[in-house]
């Protein structure tokens, strides 16, 4: 493989897993290891143990958040309940409706301006 040698070190596997357990993203990992986001992507391709460590850490962190969201929703937190329903049950807080005329024809709106008792525009 041509190019610079990889900065990857075996101890990065455990460090990355632990950092992901704390909620780190790939961008956070890049900053932590002093590399670019592209390098993190390369390491995920070249080092399966690194990829597995990230997946384990991120999955565990996500599971804790899901559990907390669930507990909050059951505890009466309306925002948590709405978020849960929107993401788990495709719940929507609006209904899309289409209005049309008879037999699907365009809906016609007629605006009629009424004047004073003499039929003249009262604002004139």
**DSSP of the chain:** --SSPP---TTHHHHHHHHHHTT--HHHHHHHHTS-HHHHHHHHHH-HHHHHHHHHHHHHHHHHHHHHHHHHHHTT-HHHHHHHHHHHS---S--------GGGPPP---------TTSS-TT-
Q: How confident is the model at residue 1 (pLDDT cuts 50, 70, 90)?
A: very low
Across the range 74-90, mean pLDDT stands at 91
Q: How high is the pLDDT of residue 115?
A: 66
Domain extent listing, the chain: 12-93
Looking at residues 103-123, what average pLDDT do you find?
72
> Tokens 């009424």 — which residue?
114
Share of the chain above pLDDT 90, in %: 62
Model pTM above 0.95? no
């Amino acid at each position: 493989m041509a190019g610079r040698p990889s900065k990857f070190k075996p101890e990065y596997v455990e460090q990355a897993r632990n950092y992901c357990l704390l909620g780190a993203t790939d961008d956070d990992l890049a900053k932590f290891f002093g590399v670019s986001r592209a390098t993190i992507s390369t390491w995920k391709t070249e080092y399966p143990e690194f990829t597995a460590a990230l997946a384990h850490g991120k999955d565990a962190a996500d599971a804790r958040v899901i559990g907390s969201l669930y507990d909050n929703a059951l505890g009466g937190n309306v925002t948590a309940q709405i978020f849960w329903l929107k993401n788990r049950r495709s719940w929507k807080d609006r209904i899309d409706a289409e209005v049309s005329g008879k037999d699907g024809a365009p809906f016609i709106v007629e605006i009629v301006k009424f004047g004073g008792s003499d039929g003249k525009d009262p604002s004139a």
